[in-house]
Structure 1
Amino acid sequence: MKSKKIITVIISAALCLGMLVGNNNFQTIAKAAEVNVNLIKNGNFDKNLDGWGSYTAYGGDGRISLKDGAINIQVDNCGTVSYGVQVYNDGFKMYKNGKYHLEFDVSSTTDRKIDYRIQRNGGDYRSYFGETIDISKDVKKVSQDFVMNDENDMSPRFAFNLGNVTGKNINPHSIKIDNVKLVLIDDTGVQYDEEKPEQKIVLNQVGYKPGDKKKVVFRAQSEDSKFRVVSAETKKVVYEGNINGNSYNEAAGETDRFGDFSSVTVPGKYTIETDGLGSSYEFTIGQDVYKNVFKDLVRFFYMQRCGQEIPKEFGGTWSHPACHTDLAKIYGSDKKIDVSGGWHDAGDYGRYVVATSKAVADLLSAYEDNKGAFGDDFNIPESGNGIPDVLDEVKYQLEWMLKMQEPLSGGVYHKVTCANFPGTVMPQEEKEELIVCPISTTATGDFAAVMAMGYQNFKDVDPSLAQKCLVAAEKAWAYLEKTPNAVVKNPDGIVTGEYGDSDDTDERYWAAAQLFKATGESKYDNAFTEMAKAKIQNGYDWALVGDYGNMAYLSAKDANQNVANNIRNNILNEAQKIVALDRNDGYNVPNGKDYSWGSNMGMNNNAVLLAQAYKLSPNPEYLEYAKEHINYCFGKNSLSKCFVSGYGSDSLKNPHHRPSIVQGKAIPGMIAGGPNKNLEDPIAKNLLEGKAPAKCYLDNSESYSTNEVDIYWNSPIVHAMAELNMD
């Protein structure tokens, strides 16, 4: 995947815009707090600004620096809200009934009012303690004691709001803050939450088809040498097996032992037990064990529809009226266009062409490779119309994407969002102005590829749409032919998902392959083969899309066989690398220590690649380990967590997803981003410091770097399951 820095940009503003909720069950909780110790990291600013951050929004403009052993904030514009300019510290915890002492020194080059707050870092952002104070050029020492009356908060924020506190702007000025202290002085009456015990027997919590390989991991030292498979209905032992191995799993920081119960094939519900480790979660063996979860993984795309009512009969708890239907302003102009429709990308309500292109490509590839997996009964409004529901869903997205193409040039706008991320609201409540961001060659390349796929998949289903797709794809390619690569960055004033990219070679590569497959025209073949001879591109990510081009070219009629053979060898080499890692990991997955943002996407992208490799060379290990990647997502991992909401005994319950947060319940069929060793949100930093990479995950809506959901994280698991007949 592309660098974490790129992805961090996507979500960074969320921290300050009210998109999180604090009332969640924490997977890891501090057992005790330090008393009479400064909880604020680097409150004296002796050497640097470590532990401190700044934020601007709604017209606010400011910057921080270290000056004379203090933090100096140059405020050039206060903006329109109190937090238009904000300085904050997030690295501490607060406990109910704890008595605290807070103090700091502050001064300003101009007389003004500021807010200081210790607050929830999300949801309603309510203040636990704070006030509005007057400051001037004379240093003011604030010193207060208070009692925390709210529930324990493992990731609060200490914020100085230096924006528009009074409703009036102020001329440019600077503010100095120093000697910041927050001390727990009395923890009498504090109740420290207990750490959740680990599940010691780990497997796929959804279950297995009868003929599948079935492996179990025992994650603790014990004297057990045998395990039992027990019928949940009869309580009788149906199989006894040996516990083998004893290997240290560095990525998970644990010792793993293993068992195999593949010989258990009779449909039913079961648990696995040992004398020393107790019982596993219940799981099912059955031919249709994945039927419901597969449907919900696909239905998630319907639940993300924008610009259309989601009625009660289809949306249930998460139903809502049509949203984001206003015309959107093209950035840098006064022109407005209709870009309604499409899917909300993730936990936010932005719509991004490069992100959605991966999602559409996965769904169409899954359909092409296993049409039998997709019926006309997925409970969406179009169900029963005689067209597979996955095509109905993709059609909705293609129609939106067509609106994102500039009609004269053929270039494609990068995204449409508001300037800032919204608060914790349902989609119809995001009312800020919609802004269409400038054309990018990465968006245009992805668009050309996806539209070519749309032409092929709809030419016999909806010829009119198919023809529109082909015309749009060719127009986009013409734009690429005359437009050089340009680095993609957010325009000034836009802080929503950047989906930045510095090289569009892989997007052009994919577009050329897909257009050649769709049309057979030599100009696309020539363009692709020239790029492939220079370098075979790889990747099933939104930022690295080369493997979509590879598979398109391999399935194209009259492909250059020398180029095709090189691509085959490249894919098989990649598959062998994955299998080599799988063999040496306790959970038979390839991540090792490399758990980063969206690691579950990488897990399922690798499953897709292995399934594709099997078609090129039927090595049974490719299928075995591809399925292990799905098993991982369904609970066979070092957290014993089913990362898909609504399924398994310990499933995703608190995703970083606004409709789920607002309604207090997760939409079923969403997959979390997964473990992220880089700890890129405050609650992850507070609660996961020192954890092994594979365990850097929190089922908490505040942990956006581990627990967000996204259409292009759902799409690869749908793609992989369809390829592997796990539907």
Structure 2
Amino acid sequence: MKTKKIISLLAGIALSISMLVGNSSFQTVAKATQADTNLVKNGNFDTNLKGWGNYTTDGGVGKVSQQDGALNAEVDNCGNVSYSLQVYYDGFKMLKNGKYHLEFDISSTTDRKVEYTIQRNKGDYRSYTYGKIDTTSKVQKVSDDFTMTEDNDKAPRLAFNLGNVGGGDLPEHSIKIDNVKLVLLDDTGVTYDEDDAPKVEQKIVLNQLGYKPEDKKKIVFRAASEDRKFRVVSTSTKEVVYEGYINGSINNEAAGETDRFGDFSSVKTPGTYTIETDGLGSSYKFTIGQDVYKNVFKDAVRFFYMQRCGQEIPESLGGKWAHPACHTDLARIYGTDQKIDVSGGWHDAGDYGRYVVATSTAAADLLTAYNDNKAAFGDDFNIPESGNGIPDVLDEIKYQLQWLLKMQDQTSGGVYHKVTCAGFPGHVMPQDETAELIVCPISTTATGDFAAVMAMGYENFKDIDPSLAEKCLAAGEKAWAYLKDKPNTPVSNPTGIVTGAYEDNDDTDERYWAAAQLFKATGDSKYDDAFKALENKKISSGLGWQSVGDFGNLAYISAKGADQNVAGNIRNYIINEAQHIVCLDKNDGYNIPSGTKGYYWGSNMNVNNNAIFLAKAYKIFPNEEYLEYAKEHINYCFGKNSLGKCFVSGYGTDSMKHPHHRPSIVQEKAVPGMIAGGPNSGLEDPTAVAELDGLAPARCYIDNQESYSTNEVDIYWNSPFVCAMAEVDRD
């Protein structure tokens, strides 16, 4: 699956702590294990740029490559600020009182100034060391010995700013950087953080929140031992309430381990427990209770309120993540001087962009969850509209629909793909992203998704807010009329825009979904005919932002007047796919169908989408295994995985604490109820490359704010998480 890459922008350069340009020899031998070790793991660029990232913004134009055993940056335009072009390295630590040595070789085909810095990668971006170099065609070695005087920093950045450093126009040129070294010379006086010590991995893993009394309760023992039995122990009385056998053995290639299993489903008495063995120690504690998921479900839904754009989030509702209204300026339509109001909506992810295709699938997930389990959604989720007599999830959807309506061109009916700034902001609160807002061109994928979700809006609001419902239906039909005369148009970022592209080369599945939802909403045969014409084509299945075919399938089989031959074929497809998922689940140590190739960007979305799919299949054919394994997918998210990690912030003993989510980074505490993207064996950010290289696919995850390819959060990852929990009564 293609997906967007969120790359943090380095937003400021501070004064140096101490700097020396010239030759300097290595000094005192450090006591630390990292002493005399190059913290830059690929500083010689002998074969590739592994571990290095690059960034362009604010007018900068250029590209970076490995060439002749060095990093080569071709600069076409220096842009407007020093960091308009930047190359950087993450994935190391800086320790207070540590004495460091930095050195590198640099040259340029034109005389110019270049900045280097090691700095804090959030907040005010202050430098721990900084220098400005006059570069020429002659290779010079730059050396900098300095002492880290600030508190320990687990996620700093080494950066070279190749943008507009010295002012003035420069011709096209190239800059070569090589032999980069960063060494801790002396750790006298350094205090190491407790979590720098090797972590003792959990050998007994399960759902860290717990289970409802009637649930199946399965454990994974992820290490070889002589243990043949396990005990369930009450944390309050210390009594053994159950003793069971450890059975089976699976070679889990995706996790690089052997898994064995236990089952304590017969334990149903509410309380808090641990699992204990003689050889593998204890599990994290967990709870058995009817309301064990109540709080996490509410927080997972409230995440969407916390992502609201264009509206004040008061302290009474937002806590330490409160902020004034943001992104309220008019936005310029790309390539024109025309400005329009596109305020409102949800911030997409760890960044503050708003993307139609992503928000449409997120809204569809929430509406699906509501329609399938209305009892899960009350009017008391602590948002401004709570208590108005309308389920809060519908209030949240209404806020989003009102924004989506602004994204439609009123003349043509086409829908703009997204609104963002030209580049990503630094680690700032939303009101502090003040660069120009740009509305990117109309896309057929955005227009198709818009038409579909507007039809869903009509169905859900026609009895609650008839005026809004009619606006939605009219807008959806206008979008469909636009699509009828437009061919498929592949989507990519326009020149100068480097925010999430949400690329898509085929809009057939978006049209398929739109036709199904409009037919369901109106009963108009023209939409039925359009759907059936598309149904004969090969449609991309899926419940993600790029492949939305299954949204269309689920809409059509629930539509009054649907062609029963077509609907029957779709139902058979759903049952066959559900059987396939269950078969894969049974052969995986953690009962998810990922295999060695299933850990990609946003893998946790796929885990929850499979849970939704199984729950939908159960409604067609009530095979109890479908529900059983749907619940196992959710157990995986709450800690029953090879990392022993609860991917949901604020919950479980070992939860995700450092998401790539700007408000959480700024406030140094994660908003509760967010689910991380999860393991990604592609290693698509420098931190992942530096920390996860060589690990088994299922273990390619790091709870680090800079690992945007494994630890970002997103509305269209939380939405299937909410939907999956609602579908299997996890509320």
Q: Write the mapping of 1:241-640 to structure 2, written as runs, cut at 5 A.
A: 241-593=244-596, 594-640=598-644
Q: Write the mapping of 1:96-107 to structure 2, written as runs, cut at 5 A.
A: 98-107=98-107
Q: Which amino acid aligns with 2:418?
A: K
CA drift at 1:302: 0.8
Q: Which amino acid aligns with 2:145?
A: D
CA distance in 1, matches of 2:693, 2:626: 35
1:669 corresponding residue in structure 2: 673
Q: C-alpha offsets along residues 490-517 of structure 1, whole Å, 9 cap, x if unaligned?
A: 1111111111100000000000000111
CA drift at 1:15: 5.2
Change (3 A) 1:280 1:103: closer
Change (3 A) 1:363 1:184: same
Is 1:145 the counterpart of 2:145? The answer is yes
CA distance in 2, matches of 1:635, 1:42: 33
1:14 corresponding residue in structure 2: 8
1:27 corresponding residue in structure 2: none
Q: Name the % identity.
A: 72
Q: Which amino acid aligns with 2:56?
A: T
CA distance in 1, matches of 2:473, 2:306: 28
CA distance in 2, matches of 1:68, 1:236: 67
- The answer on whether the counterparts of 2:417 and 2:440 sit within 8 Å (CA) in structure 1 is yes
- The answer on whether the counterparts of 2:208 and 2:639 sit within 8 Å (CA) in structure 1 is yes
CA drift at 1:125: 3.4
Q: C-alpha offsets along residues 550-609 of structure 1, whole Å, 9 cap, x if unaligned?
A: 011000111111111111111111111111110011111111222111111110000000
CA distance in 2, matches of 1:696, 1:723: 29
1:171 corresponding residue in structure 2: 170
Q: Which residues of structure 1 form unaligned runs of 5+?
A: 20-30
- The answer on whether the counterparts of 2:112 and 2:135 sit within 8 Å (CA) in structure 1 is yes
1:162 corresponding residue in structure 2: 162
Change (3 A) 1:388 1:431: same
Please tell me the root mean square deviation across aligned C-alpha atoms, in Å: 2.3
CA distance in 2, matches of 1:69, 1:286: 60
Secondary structure of the structure 1 residue equivalent to 2:214: coil
CA distance in 2, matches of 1:66, 1:621: 51
2:197 corresponding residue in structure 1: 194
More displaced 10-residue stretch of structure 1: 41-50 or 629-638: 41-50
CA distance in 2, matches of 1:270, 1:384: 37
Change (3 A) 1:308 1:223: same
- The answer on whether the counterparts of 1:405 and 1:413 sit within 8 Å (CA) in structure 2 is yes
Is 1:711 the counterpart of 2:721? The answer is no
More displaced 10-residue stretch of structure 1: 684-693 or 463-472: 684-693
2:23 corresponding residue in structure 1: none
Q: Which amino acid aligns with 1:400?
A: W
- The answer on whether the counterparts of 2:50 and 2:689 sit within 8 Å (CA) in structure 1 is no
Q: C-alpha offsets along residues 638-666 of structure 1, whole Å, 9 cap, x if unaligned?
A: 11111111111111211111111111111
Q: Which amino acid aligns with 1:696?
A: C
- The answer on whether the counterparts of 2:111 and 2:136 sit within 8 Å (CA) in structure 1 is yes
CA distance in 2, matches of 1:491, 1:599: 27
Change (3 A) 1:41 1:568: same
More displaced 10-residue stretch of structure 1: 557-566 or 44-53: 44-53
More displaced 10-residue stretch of structure 1: 32-41 or 247-256: 32-41
More displaced 10-residue stretch of structure 1: 536-545 or 92-101: 92-101
CA drift at 1:144: 3.8
CA drift at 1:320: 1.3
Change (3 A) 1:700 1:44: closer
CA distance in 2, matches of 1:317, 1:303: 11
CA drift at 1:84: 1.7
CA drift at 1:95: 5.2
Change (3 A) 1:520 1:67: closer
- The answer on whether the counterparts of 1:509 and 1:537 sit within 8 Å (CA) in structure 2 is no
More displaced 10-residue stretch of structure 1: 420-429 or 476-485: 420-429
CA distance in 2, matches of 1:50, 1:653: 26
1:78 corresponding residue in structure 2: 78
- The answer on whether the counterparts of 2:9 and 2:426 sit within 8 Å (CA) in structure 1 is no
CA distance in 2, matches of 1:447, 1:66: 42
CA distance in 2, matches of 1:579, 1:329: 49
Q: Which amino acid aligns with 1:658?
A: R
CA distance in 2, matches of 1:471, 1:622: 38
CA distance in 1, matches of 2:65, 2:386: 58
1:649 corresponding residue in structure 2: 653
CA distance in 2, matches of 1:105, 1:382: 59
CA distance in 2, matches of 1:174, 1:513: 53
Secondary structure of the structure 2 residue equivalent to 1:630: helix
Secondary structure of the structure 1 residue equivalent to 2:273: strand
- The answer on whether the counterparts of 1:268 and 1:286 sit within 8 Å (CA) in structure 2 is yes
Is 1:693 the counterpart of 2:697? The answer is yes
- The answer on whether the counterparts of 1:101 and 1:143 sit within 8 Å (CA) in structure 2 is yes
- The answer on whether the counterparts of 1:72 and 1:174 sit within 8 Å (CA) in structure 2 is no
CA distance in 2, matches of 1:367, 1:37: 55
CA drift at 1:157: 3.7
- The answer on whether the counterparts of 1:43 and 1:178 sit within 8 Å (CA) in structure 2 is no
Q: C-alpha offsets along residues 397-452 of structure 1, whole Å, 9 cap, x if unaligned?
A: 00110111111111001111111111111111111111111110000000000000
CA distance in 1, matches of 2:180, 2:628: 55
- The answer on whether the counterparts of 1:305 and 1:343 sit within 8 Å (CA) in structure 2 is yes
State the number of aligned residues.
Answer: 709
CA distance in 2, matches of 1:361, 1:79: 40
Q: Which amino acid aligns with 1:680?
A: E
Q: Which amino acid aligns with 2:168?
A: N
More displaced 10-residue stretch of structure 1: 540-549 or 276-285: 276-285
- The answer on whether the counterparts of 2:93 and 2:154 sit within 8 Å (CA) in structure 1 is yes
Compute the TM-score of the two structures, normalised by the length of structure 2: 0.92
Q: C-alpha offsets along residues 183-232 of structure 1, whole Å, 9 cap, x if unaligned?
A: 53735536773111111221111111111111111122222211111222
Secondary structure of the structure 2 residue equivalent to 1:405: coil
CA drift at 1:77: 2.6
CA distance in 2, matches of 1:307, 1:362: 23
- The answer on whether the counterparts of 1:74 and 1:172 sit within 8 Å (CA) in structure 2 is no
- The answer on whether the counterparts of 1:214 and 1:261 sit within 8 Å (CA) in structure 2 is yes
Q: Which amino acid aligns with 2:160?
A: F
